[in-house]
Chain A
């Protein structure tokens, strides 16, 4: 079945540091890939997505590229801020179109120190 493996946390960085959170997946076919963020006490918010190989998703300075050859979707940001502290989830959906059943990784807790 489909699965997602994320870099284990927690990850602690200083403000303005470079961020990478690794994500690899196992899936049949051509899934869509997502990064969701969860701030303390809140639900999940979509951060970015990519629906086909070599697509780059980007939002709020975060980027991730859909790499089919390495089955990866690593999250990167060039300069993190304290406000980026949250839990980040990589996820996939096997649906080509229509409502999504999402398979999530275990999450990576990120803490940014001033």
Chain B
């Protein structure tokens, strides 16, 4: 079992650009959540996808959007990047219909310059 996989592992972008991050959930998991972890801080919930729809959303602007595919994989898109978007982006997967803990990927380190 490959667990939760994220790509790329590191990324450098320029202010104003757009970025797409990818996540493949653990086998058997149908729900994907995204978190932003700024340096020295705890992860902050961005949003959650289930059945290809956004089900819950945290306090993030519309510049942050996502998508879930029929195979349960997911993308996080961020438009008009700001320096403050530099962070570790974590993907977590879990099954929706059972009370099972979330499993996290290794994360994508995004640096905006």
A98 pairs with B42, CB closer than 8 A = no
In this assembly, does B81 line the interface, its C-beta being within 8 Å of a C-beta of chain A? no
A43 and B101 in contact, given A89-B42, A102-B43, A104-B43 (Cβ under 8 angstroms): no
Contact assessment for A99 and B42 in the assembled complex, using a CB-CB cutoff below 8 Å: no
Beta-carbon contact of B56 and A45 below 8 Å:
no
A69 to B50, CA, bound (A): 35
Determine how close the nearest CB of chain A comes to the CB of B5; give it in whole angstroms. Answer: 10
| Interface members, chain B 9-44 (any A CB < 8 Å) | 31, 33, 35, 40-44
Which residues of A come within 8 Å of B, CB atoms? 4, 32, 34, 36, 42-46, 49, 51, 89, 91, 95-107
The residues of A that contact B42 with a CB separation of less than 8 Å are: 4, 89, 91, 104-107
Distance, CA A42 to CA B43, complexed state (A): 13
A36 to B40, CA, bound (A): 15
Q: B43, A46: Cβ atoms under 8 Å?
A: no
Known: A99-B48, A99-B96, A101-B45; 14 extra A-B contacts, CB below 8 A, are: A42-B106, A42-B107, A44-B90, A44-B92, A51-B99, A96-B99, A97-B97, A98-B97, A99-B31, A99-B50, A99-B95, A101-B56, A106-B41, A107-B41
Contact at B45–A43, with CB atoms within 8 Å? no
Could you tell me if A101 and B33 are in contact, using CB atoms closer than 8 angstroms? yes
Asked if B94 is at the interface of the complex by the 8 Å CB criterion, the answer is yes
Which residues on the A side are within 8 Å of B101 (C-beta)? 34, 46, 49, 100
Query: Nearest 9 pairs between A and B by C-beta?
Result: A104-B42, A99-B31, A43-B104, A44-B104, A43-B106, A97-B99, A99-B96, A99-B94, A106-B42
**Cβ-closest chain A residue relative to B102:** A100
